[in-house]
Amino acid sequence: MSGNYSKSNGESILTSTGLVALPPTPGVPTGDLVLFNADSYGGGVSATPLRHLTIAASFSRALSNTLSNATYSRNNTEIFNAQLQYHLRRIGLLSGFTRFTQGISATGLPPGTANSYFVGVSRWFDFF
């Protein structure tokens, strides 16, 4: 079992190379500042309920806001991943599911979601 949490906030300025964090600097026009605030959290769990069977799942979410004279944006990113592994003698089965969602309010579009599924079967050989 695992878990995480982080928080950040501050000021930056937009330059030709992107956003650059600012140390406290007098004289920077407040109209040029980009304020940001973000939180992220997540967790995961893994279990082996039967011999040779492993089940794992994890979830992460990040929420952030940016504010400047030009725009305000509320951003959301989520990812969920689940996986199942089963090994019996020389045969292995691996399957999983991933769901990724991302939304950026400044674009004016609804959040986008992508789902991915996979299944694999393997067999190993001992030639020597």
Average pLDDT over all residues of the chain: 88
Strands 72-88 and 53-67: antiparallel
Q: Tokens in use for 123?
A: 């067999």
pTM over 0.85: no
Report whether pLDDT(24) > 80: no
Q: Tokens in use for 10?
A: 């501050």
Alpha carbon distance 51, 41 (integer Å): 31
Within 10 A of 119 (CB to CB), how many other CB atoms are there? 9
Mean pLDDT of 5-29: 77
Per-residue pLDDT, 30: 65
Report whether pLDDT(102) > 90: yes
Per-residue pLDDT, 101: 95
For the chain, give every domain's residue range: 2-123
Mean pLDDT of 99-124: 91
Report whether pLDDT(15) > 70: yes
